[in-house]
Structure 1
Amino acid sequence: MSGSALDPRLLALLVCPQTKQPLRYDRSAQELVNDTAGIAYPIRDGVPILLADAAREFLPATG
């Protein structure tokens, strides 16, 4: 299911489990991203993995 779209209704309900902020869907990386906190959660076989252990951290954008 790589590269497939995430259901917009599901995306509207999901929030970052650590910060409770909305998540952005990155289709090319198959991740749900919290740009403010610098956290990205993988989507595997169409299922978002919203676990801290599975998350990837990155430097959040400034400005």
Structure 2
Amino acid sequence: MSLDPALVEILACPDTHHTPLEYDAAGQTLTCSQCRRVFEVRDGIPVLLLDEARTPGSPA
């Protein structure tokens, strides 16, 4: 399931810097270009919880 491009355009990292997120349709993830956190998209819904995000170097 792919995210609506209009939604992807307005999504931002929930951390204090609010950097736009990069969408990977194949991996069903959103990645912050500043802090590099990776947020999953589950059943077409972005999970933008800092506690559930993967950080660089963390296992998938």
**Structure 1 unaligned spans of 5+:** none
Pick from 24, 32, 35 the counterpart of residue 33 of structure 2: 35
Of structures 1 and 2, the larger Rg is shown by 1
For the aligned residue pairs, the C-alpha RMSD in angstroms reads: 1.2
8 Å CA contact 2:19–2:33 kept in 1: the answer is: no
Give the CA deviation at 1:35. 2.7
8 Å CA contact 2:20–2:33 kept in 1: the answer is: no
Aligned residue for 1:17?
A: 14
Correspondence 1:52 to 2:50: yes
Normalised TM-score (structure 1): 0.79
8 Å CA contact 2:13–2:32 kept in 1: the answer is: yes
The amino acid that maps onto 2:12 is: V
Share of identical aligned residues, percent?
39
**Structure 2 unaligned spans of 5+:** none
Give the CA deviation at 1:20. 0.3
Q: C-alpha separation between the residues in 1 aligned to 2:13 and 2:33?
A: 10
Runs of 4+ in structure 1 deviating by more than 2 angstroms, as ranges, are none
The amino acid that maps onto 1:6 is: L
Normalised TM-score (structure 2): 0.83
